[in-house]
Structure 1
Amino acid sequence: MSTGLIIGIIILLLIIVVVAAFVMMYNNLVKARNFVENAWAQIDVQLKRRSDLIPNLVETVKGYAGHEKQLLENVTAARSAVMKATTPHEKAEASNMLSSTLKSLFAVAENYPQLKANENFRDLQNQLTETENKIAYTRQFYNDTVTKYNNTIQTIPTNIVAKLGGFTKKELFEAAEEEKVVPKVSFS
C-alpha cells in the first residue's frame, strides 16, 4: 500500500469517528431534553390533579364556611392562574401561590369542627395532601433531570454539539420566597 492510501484511510477513519461521536452526543442531548420535558409533564399531571380536586374542596367548604368568601375566591383565582400558566416559571409561581392559599383554607377549616368531621372534606384533604407530596417529588425529579441536562450541555465536548444543535439551558423549579422562610416555633 502506498503512503497516500494509508493517509487517506486514516483521515477517512478519523472523519467517521468524529461524525459517529457527533451523532452519539447529539442523540444523547435529544434524550436528555426529552427526559426534561417528561419530568415537566409529570409535574403538570400532578398540578392538573390538584386543580381538579379544588372545585370539590371549595364546594364542600362553602357549605360550612360560606362567609369565608374572600378566601374561597382566592383559592379559585389561584387555581385559575395555574391553569392559565404556560411556561415552567409561570406554572411554578402560580403553583406556589395556590399552595399558599390552600394552606390558608385548611387553617380556616380548623375553626369548623363539623367541616373537619365531614367525610368528603377529609377525603379531599387527604387526596390534596397526597397530591402535594407527589408534586414535591416530581419537582425534585424535574430539578435533578434539568441539572443533569444543563451539566451535559455545558461540559466539553458536548457543549459544542449542544451549541450547534440549538440546545439551551433549562430553568429549575424553585420555591417561592415565602416558602423559603423558616417558620418561627415558640412554646411560650
Structure 2
Amino acid sequence: MEWIAIPLIIVLLVVVGGVAWAVGAYNGFVKQRNLIQESWRQVDVELNRRYELIPNLVETVRAFAGHERNTLEGIVRLRQQAQQLSSAERGDAPTAERAAVEEQLTQQVRGLMVQVEAYPELKSNQNFLELQRQLAETEDRIAAGRRYYNANVRNYNTRIESVPTNFIASSFNFQKATYFEVNDAEVRRAPDVSFGEISYRGDAPEQPRSAAPVESSSPNELPNPQAGRESAPGLSFDQRPEAQPVDRPEGEGYQPPNYNRP
C-alpha cells in the first residue's frame, strides 16, 4: 500500500501548494488595489485644494483682465465638471473621464498664467501673487502624487496581464486601473541640449529653436533613447569647424623662432 500512498501525498502537496499560491496571489491583488486607492486619495486632496483656489484666482484675474472672459468661463466650467465627477467617485480611483477633465483643467489654468503676463498691474497685485504661489505649490504636489499613483497602477496592471497571475485576476474580476496621465505635449517635451553648440557658441546671438513634435508609440513598443538624434539642432563633435591657419608676416628678414636656442 505504500506505493499508493506516495502518489497521493505528492498530489496532496501539489494541491495544497496551488491553493496557497492562489491565496497569496489574491491577497497580493487586494493589497495593490488598496494601495492604488490610498495613493489616489492623496492626489484627490490636492485636486480639491486646487478647486478651492480657482474661484479666487478667477475673480482676481477678472478684475484686472476682463478680456480673458472666455478663458475664465472655461476654467469655471471644467472646475464644476471635475467636482461633480469627484463627488460621484467618492474617493475611489479615477475614471478615464475624470482624468481627461483634470488634464483639461490643468492646461486651462496653465494657459491663463501665460496670458496674464500681458497685464503688469495684475502681475504686481499681492493677492494674485499669493494665489499664484499657492497654486504652483499645489500643482507640484499633484505632479508628485500622480507619479506615485501611476507607479502603483503600473505594477498592478502588469500583474493582471502577466501569467500565471492573470488567471487569478480573471477568476476574481480584478479590473485594470486607470492611469492619471498628462498628455500635453508642452509638459512632456524634453529640453534640447547640443554639446557642440554649447562649446562653440561664443558671443554669437542665440537663435530660437523649435522642439521636434512628440511622436506617439504603440503600447508594446519600447522607448528608443537614440531616436531623433539625427535631427537635433546644433553641431556634433564631427562637425566642428577646422582651425584656421595663423597669418604670419612675410618678407625679407623674417625667421621662424628657434626654441632650441640657448
Give yes or no for TM over 0.5: yes
> Larger radius of gyration, structure 1 or 2?
2
Q: CA deviation at 1:22?
A: 0.8
Q: 1:95 to 1:153 in 2, by over 3 A?
A: same
2: CA distance, partners of 1:39 / 1:120: 32
Aligned to 1:43: 43
The 5-angstrom pairing of residues 112-151 of structure 1 reads 112-151=119-158
Aligned to 1:54: 54
The 5-angstrom pairing of residues 16-165 of structure 1 reads 16-85=16-85, 87-165=94-172
SS at match of 2:15: helix
**Stretch moving more, 47-56 or 6-15:** 6-15
Q: Give 4+ residue runs of structure 1 displaced > 6 Å after superposition.
A: none
Identity %: 40
CA contact (8 A) 1:93 1:176 kept: no
Consecutive unaligned residues of structure 1, counting only runs of 5 or more, are none
Q: 1:179 to 1:170 in 2, by over 3 A?
A: farther
Q: CA RMSD in A?
A: 2.5
Paired letter, 1:157: P
- Determine which structure has greater relative contact order: mean sequence separation of CA pairs < 8 Å that are 6+ residues apart, divided by chain length: 1
Between the two proteins, the alignment pairs up a number of residues equal to: 187
Q: CA deviation at 1:30?
A: 0.9
CA contact (8 A) 2:64 2:119 kept: yes
Q: CA deviation at 1:16?
A: 1.6
Consecutive unaligned residues of structure 2, counting only runs of 5 or more, are 191-206, 210-262
Q: CA deviation at 1:7?
A: 3.5
1: CA distance, partners of 2:76 / 2:21: 52
TM-score, normalised by the number of residues in structure 1: 0.85
Question: Quick check: which one's helix share is greater?
Answer: 1
